[in-house]
Each structure stands twice: as structure tokens, then as C-alpha cells.
Amino acid sequence: MSNVLQIYSIWLYAANAYTRTSIRAIPGNTIVTTPAGASKKTLAGLAPPPLKPASFLATVRSTKGNPFEIIPLQAYEQPFYLSKWLLGPVLMVNDPEGVRRVLLDNVANYPKEEMGDEFFSAMFGEGLLSAPGAKWRTHRKVMAPSFGTRTVESYAPAMVETTVAFAERWDALPQSSEMDIAAEMQALTLKIICRTMFSSDAEELAAHAGQALDFAQASLEFGLLDVLPLIGPWRIKRKQEAIRAHFKGMDAAIYRLIGEREKIHNEAPKDFLTRLVAAKDPDDGVGLNANEVRDEVITIFMAGHETTAVTMTWVWYLLSQHPAEEAMLHRELDAVLGGRIPTVEDLPHLPYTRMVIEETMRVYPPAPGISLREAKEADELCGFKVTPGLQVLVSPWILHRHRRLWDDPERFDPTRFAKESSEKRPRFAYLPFGGGPRVCIGATLAMTETILILAVLAQRFRLRLKEGEEVTLQTRITLRPKNGMMTILERREPVAQPDRGQEPPPQQAAIRQPVGRF
Ligand code: HEM
């Protein structure tokens, strides 16, 4: 199946069909409301799942927003859920052991559909997200050291500096300024990825990248017309041409920089680009050619900046609706940093900051559906007999709200990620970064970046949702607020610091590594 069809059908599959009838309500399943004093409204996407499958029209309509919201309750109670749609059945695997089998133990039987079609190659070429199997394996090996903990730590100063410059811009704004925090976080993470990728050439690249990536993201809007015979292929071809045209400026700049880095390799800045240009396969010493480096650069941009931006956007949203958790965060930041700029050495001492981010990615997984896998041979998953060719979907959205895995899953509660609770949880119950050999290569980078951003900004500011702002979810590969998110910026007075030891934030100093389990 072509990937365009595939993506479209993920939404439709995810939206379910008319296969199930006996669905029971779970006692005590409550709607989560905003805190005392705020309006008693369910937060975006936090209503309990519907009891019944959606109608055909509602299913089609849901593809404009977040189709995961219409998946019926049964999927959140059972280890698997078989959804049938016009294009064939899809098995949603919602049990950690089953997920582990698909993504790790029997991964060879569930290859990731290669995004080999022209639509994706118009954007990514053949980077890690889209490269065919053998090429993916080699590139992953070559690139792994560029994403290792030590290397990521070396990017922390650039992340912090960029965020501090951003905070200074916010500081210059009048008190109670309105801002679209979704757009702000996009701009910030784009700046950070440009700095870590291109060092001093970041400014030039940021302009090209912002424009090209916005266009590519907008191109992921598909309608029914895109899957019709004749008209569909014609529309897709037009989109591909437009995408190629929009990437021209960025491509030219990247190729020029690659050429320069190759010439001055000893004195080249220690950024991502230099590392990719110099990276070698440990087995045969072969590196990436200029085209391959270009494809990986674009892939890293696409995979790495939007996901981080939406994570931060949802962090601000949830904090604005949960004053007690926000106060806890402020207490930790004030106690550990006391107003100073954080460094990477502070990360192990900011466990609650990290827990806020982890819980945010549980509630709003930035990638709510991990790409479809297709069974090559017969297998058994959670007692279900898998036949060759069956499509299998692993969805962090469902897993993260599954009734057997989480208490009161619609409630925002960062303490779920306290060390002892996380250690008891099966590894494949929580999948913001996927799992197995295709696990996100940028997970450590993303956690380091988001913790540092939150530590810098939440020390000085808090954001309130603008009165009357309606937040609705939209899934376009990533999960984002459909029309941005208007907030009011407030400067923050540091909270009086508790006596050290008297009221410590949970798990203080208990976590050594910024990212332990991804
Ligand atoms: C909060 C931020 C992020 C989230 C939630 C996230 C999530 C994911 C997920 C779920 C996958 C697996 C997709 C699948 O199996 O189909 C993935 C893959 C990937 N991510 Fe991330 N990601 C994030 C940040 C980043 C960053 C910062 C980078 C790079 C700088 C990055 C680069 C990649 C790449 C290259 C892949 C493909 C890996 C492969 O197939 O070998 N991601 N990401």
C-alpha cells in the first residue's frame, strides 16, 4: 500500500469501524476537570473514550482532528483490538508483552513499512525514518555515536544559551503579553536544532529550514480526494513537486556547508553536521556521502524539532491547568537552581522537572501512533492468531490510557514517573519514543533539551491559558493543538525556598542519568 494511503488509513483505522457491539463502561471512570477555581471543563483530549464505535461520518470527520479520540473504550480495556475498515483489518496491540513481541522479540516478522514512495523521498530522501532495511541498518550504526549521552551533553550549552536568549526576548515584552505558545515553542526548538546542527551557520539555515519544514508539515494534510483513483495520484504528484521546490534553498545551503566541513575537518566546529560528515561505519570504515548526509540532516530536522516543540507546548498547557503540580515544579527549580542558569550537571537533580515532561508525553504522546507494521508470517499476539499480511498498529495514545496499565489515566500526575513506580512498570507500557531497534535515536537529546528548556523558562515565567481559549487536538503524525494555543505570559516571583531536606521534591538526586529507560 502506498504510504499516502497508509497514513490516511491509519487515521481511518484508528478511528475504528463497526465491528464491536458489546462495550461496557468502567465503574468510577471519571472526567478529569481543571483545578479548583478554574472552569470545570474537560481538558483537550481528556474525556474518557466513547462507549460506542463512531458513525461513518464521525469517523471521516475525525481525520481533520485527532482520530484517536473516537476509538471506543473497549480498545483501552483489552490486550488487543481488531478494527476493520474498507481497506482491511488492523490489529491494535495494547498489551506490553504483545508490543514487545512486535517491536523487539519478533521484530523481523513485523517490518516497518518502508517509506519508500516518492512522497516521502521528496522530503527526507533516504534518511533513517525512510531508508530501506539494509541502508537503515548501516546508517543507524554510523550515526549512533552522534546521539550518545556524551555527545548530547556537549550540545547542552547551545541549548541553554538559545533558550536564555529566548527568555530575554520574553522579558522585554510587557507583562501579560499574549502569545501563541505553540508557535513560540516551534521557533525555539527550530533555533536549537539549527544551533546544534550548524553552530555559527545556524541563522542562515534557520530561515530556509523554517519555511521548508512548515510547507512539508502542511503537505501532510490529506483529504479524501488524495486517495481517489486518477485525481489522487495527480494531487500527490503536485505536492511532491511543490515540496521539492520548497527544499531547494535549504538543500543548496546544506550541500555548501557539507563541502566546507569536508575541507576543514580538523578545525570544523563540533556540531551535528561535522559529526555526520566524519562518521564512519565501525565495521568497514565507510562513511556517508554528501547526499546521504543531506537526507539525514533533513530527517533529523523533521523528526526532531516538531516533536520537541509539541511536547513543550503540552507541558505549558498542563501546567497552566494544574497549579499544584506547577508549584511543585517551581519549588524544585528554585531549590536546586536558586535562579541560576542550569547546566547539564543539574539534570540528575531535577527529577520532578523530568517527571512533568514524562507525564506530559504520557497524556499527550507527541507521536500518538507508531507507524504500521505488517506481519510477514503467521504469529500469535496476546492470544490472537496473526495471519501473514495483517497490519499491526502500536499506539502510544491507547497504551498510555489503557485501564489495565494506569490508574485514572485521564489524570495528569507526574508522580507516576517517580523512580520506584517507573521501575515497576513494564518497559513496553510507555512508548513516547517507540521501542526496539527502531526506537527514537534522539530520545536522550529530546529529554535533555526539554528538561533544560523547562528549567530555564519556568524559573522566570508562567503561562496562563487565554480566557476562552478552546484547545483541540490534531494528529498530523505529531499530536498538536489544532489552531495553536493562545496564552498570557506572566513573570514569576521565585517561591520561598524550603529548608533543604524539610520538604524535598520527590526523588531528589535519585536519578543519575537524564534518560534511563528509553
Ligand atoms: C519529544 C521528542 C521526540 C519524540 C516524542 C520522538 C518520537 C519518536 C518515535 C515514536 C520514533 C519511532 C517511530 C517508529 O517506530 O515508527 C522516533 C524515531 C526517530 N526519531 Fe524521534 N522523537 C523525538 C525527538 C527526536 C529528536 C530530538 C531527534 C533528532 C535530533 C529524533 C530523531 C528520530 C529519528 C532519526 C527517528 C528514526 C529512527 C530509526 O528509525 O532508526 N527524534 N521518534
Q: How far is the CA of 204 from the centre of ligand 1 (A)?
A: 25
Q: How far is the CA of 317 from the centre of ligand 1 (A)?
A: 22
Regarding beta strands 391-394 and 80-85, do their DSSP bridges make them parallel or antiparallel, or are they unpaired? unpaired
446 lines ligand 1 (CB under 6 A): yes
Residues 6+ apart with CB under 8 A from 448: 152, 153, 155, 156, 159, 344, 347, 514, 515
Residues 6+ apart with CB under 8 A from 344: 153, 156, 448, 452, 514
Q: Phi and psi dihedrals of 434, rounded to 5?
A: 75, -165
Q: Identify the residue whose C-alpha is closest to ligand 1 atom 26.
A: 304
Q: Which three cell numbers stand for residue 280?
A: 564512519
**Cα separation, 272 vs 197, whole angstroms:** 4
Q: Identify the residue whose C-alpha is closest to ligand 1 atom 20.
A: 440
Atom of ligand 1 nearest to the CA of 450: 1
480 lines ligand 1 (CB under 6 A): no
Give the ranges where 178-322 is alpha helix by DSSP (H): 181-198, 202-218, 231-263, 272-278, 290-321
300 lines ligand 1 (CB under 6 A): yes
Residues 6+ apart with CB under 8 A from 395: 14, 68, 92, 94, 368, 369, 370
pLDDT the model gives residue 24: 26
Residue of 149, 307, 445 with the most ligand 1 atoms within 8 Å of its CB, for mutation: 307
Q: How far is the CA of 303 from the centre of ligand 1 (A)?
A: 6
CA distance to 185, 297, 430, 450, 480, per residue, from 315 (Å)? 11, 27, 17, 10, 12
Atom of ligand 1 nearest to the CA of 139: 41
pLDDT the model gives residue 263: 82
**Cα separation, 335 vs 346, whole angstroms:** 12
| Structural domains present in the chain | 3-491 (1.10.630.10)
457 with 492: CB under 8 angstroms?
Answer: no
Q: Could you give the angle at which helices 290-321 and 133-143 cross, rounded to 10 degrees? A: 70
pLDDT the model gives residue 85: 63
448 with 152: CB under 8 angstroms?
Answer: yes
pLDDT the model gives residue 5: 40
Residues 6+ apart with CB under 8 A from 425: 405
Q: How far is the CA of 363 from the centre of ligand 1 (A)?
A: 18
Atom of ligand 1 nearest to the CA of 449: 27
366 lines ligand 1 (CB under 6 A): yes
pLDDT the model gives residue 168: 96
pLDDT the model gives residue 141: 94
pLDDT tens for each residue of the chain, 518 residues long: 344 444 444 444 443 333 332 222 222 223 333 343 344 568 998 988 999 888 878 877 777 888 898 889 999 999 999 987 656 789 999 999 999 999 999 999 998 865 445 566 777 788 998 888 888 999 999 999 999 999 999 999 999 999 999 999 999 999 999 999 999 999 999 999 999 988 877 777 887 887 787 777 777 666 666 667 777 778 777 887 888 888 888 889 889 888 888 887 677 788 889 999 999 998 898 999 999 999 999 899 888 889 999 999 999 999 999 999 999 999 999 999 999 999 999 999 999 999 999 999 999 999 998 878 999 999 999 999 999 999 999 999 999 999 999 999 999 999 999 999 999 999 999 999 999 999 999 999 999 999 999 999 999 999 999 999 999 999 888 999 999 999 999 999 766 565 444 444 444 333 333 343 44
432 lines ligand 1 (CB under 6 A): yes
pLDDT the model gives residue 518: 43
Q: How far is the CA of 302 from the centre of ligand 1 (A)?
A: 9
Atom of ligand 1 nearest to the CA of 127: 35
Q: Which three cell numbers stand for residue 92?
A: 491494535
304 lines ligand 1 (CB under 6 A): yes
pLDDT the model gives residue 294: 92
Q: Identify the residue whose C-alpha is closest to ligand 1 atom 1.
A: 308
Angle at the Cα of 248 (from 242 to 252), degrees rounded to 5?
170
Residues 6+ apart with CB under 8 A from 64: 474
CA distance to 156, 167, 380, per residue, from 399 (Å)? 31, 35, 19
Atom of ligand 1 nearest to the CA of 396: 10
CA 359 to chain centre: 13
Atom of ligand 1 nearest to the CA of 103: 15
Residue type, 66: N
Q: Phi and psi dihedrals of 482, rounded to 5?
A: -60, -45
pLDDT the model gives residue 212: 80
367 lines ligand 1 (CB under 6 A): yes
Helices (H) and strands (E) in the chain, counts: 16, 11
- Residue 503's CB is within 10 A of a number of other CB atoms, namely 10
438 lines ligand 1 (CB under 6 A): yes
